[in-house]
Amino acid sequence: MSPSPAPAAAEPARAGELALAGMRNLAYTPARLEIAAGTTVEWRNQDVVAHTVTAEEGGFDSGLIEPGSTWRHTFHEPGIYSFLCTPHPFMKGVVVVR
């Protein structure tokens, strides 16, 4: 039996598009997003507890996102934006803006 090919990487979202992300089982899904500058990311809390999307170096903070709720942020400048959940600091993610 030969190994299955690796799944293709998702193409980065283009400027002006909406990139979808979530929170489930105390983790961000996906934990890494690659997008173009000008893209808006929407995080949907699909967990049973509230979470945040808080930039580690400042710049954005969602406040508490209750289960079933969403929060959006538009990334205008290229860079690497690391974020975490304030109540659950082991939850980490990154947005790479090209």
Task: Give the domain CATH number at 78.
Answer: 2.60.40.420
Residue 2 domain-assigned? no
The pair of three-digit structure tokens given for residue 39, joined into one six-digit string: 């893209």
pLDDT digits (tens, 9 = 90+) for 73-97: 999 999 999 999 999 999 999 999 9
Its domain, for residue 41, covers 18-97
Domain count, the chain: 1
Residue 60 located in a structural domain: yes
**CA-CA distance, 50 to 7, in Å (whole number)?**
31
22 pLDDT exceeds 80?
A: yes
User: Can you give the pLDDT at residue 2?
Assistant: 43
CB 45 within 8 A of CB 69: yes
* Average pLDDT taken over every residue of the chain: 90
Segment among 11-20, 22-31, 41-50 with least mean pLDDT: 11-20
Predicted TM-score (pTM) of this structure: 0.83
Assess if residue 8 is contained within a domain.
no
